[in-house]
Amino acid sequence: MTLIERVQRLRVAAVAVEDEEKIKRRTGALASYAETVEATIDTIRRLGDGVAELRAVGVTMSPDLLTQITQVASTLDALAKKLPGHDTNAPLDEPKAHIKTAESLVKSLRRFVEEAWAAERNRAVPVINEDLVATLARSGIDVEEIRIKIEKAQGELDVLNNRPVPELSDVARLSAALETLNACGRQITDLVDPILTGVIMDAQGAAGTPLSAFTPEVLAGLAELGVLDRFWVTLR
């Protein structure tokens, strides 16, 4: 074999290796694009669920954004079906352009949903005097059922506050948790008269409650609650 023949063979072999590397790179790029398309479609679906949830409380999306997202979702669905059969030698400019457009619109949609959901979550949360609940419990008044409801509602709010995008039924869960806290606040108010509440809380403080606070009405109220025998007079 002459030197020229050996050089020609080496060139052919090098071309074959280069083609193989190109095919691997193109195949890898196609697989990466396919994963990106699937992930973007999934994100649009989740954000769509969020939009549907927020619509229940009167949040509306810009018609232009809605139209664009609908078109992009349709394009991505078609692209997801097309990519597996895409020729490895065919240009990837079209898939790349569709993905870039989709990611930009998804970013806008995510911002809209997250801001609207944050505004909904930031509605006034009923204030519960947990110190009062604990004080009433220590004084022997049965508030266990109310305490459990409060803890459950606050747990729901914690879960929802840590969720940037609402999932299906989250708006209903938020409303239910807020209503539970409202109801618990009313229950506590109905359960114990504010004057009795003050006497009970002061009695468990360092300074105590002056004897003058125990009017006939207060004594009757404490007796009705079943906690009168828990009060003792201390001389200072």
Higher pLDDT, 127 or 47: 47
DSSP structure string for 150-180: HHHHHHHHHHHHT-SSPPTTHHHHHHHHHHH
pTM above 0.95, yes or no: no
What digits encode the pLDDT tens for the residues 20-72? 555 555 566 767 878 888 888 899 899 989 998 999 888 888 888 888 888 88
| 2-11, 24-33, 95-104, range with the lowest pLDDT | 2-11
Pull the structure tokens for residue 155. 């747990």
Calculate ∠ Cα 177-178-181, nearest 5°: 90
Show Cβ contacts of residue 114 under 8 Å, excluding neighbours closer than 6 positions.
164, 165
CATH class of 3-121: mainly alpha
Where are the domains positioned within the chain? Answer: 3-121, 124-191, 192-236
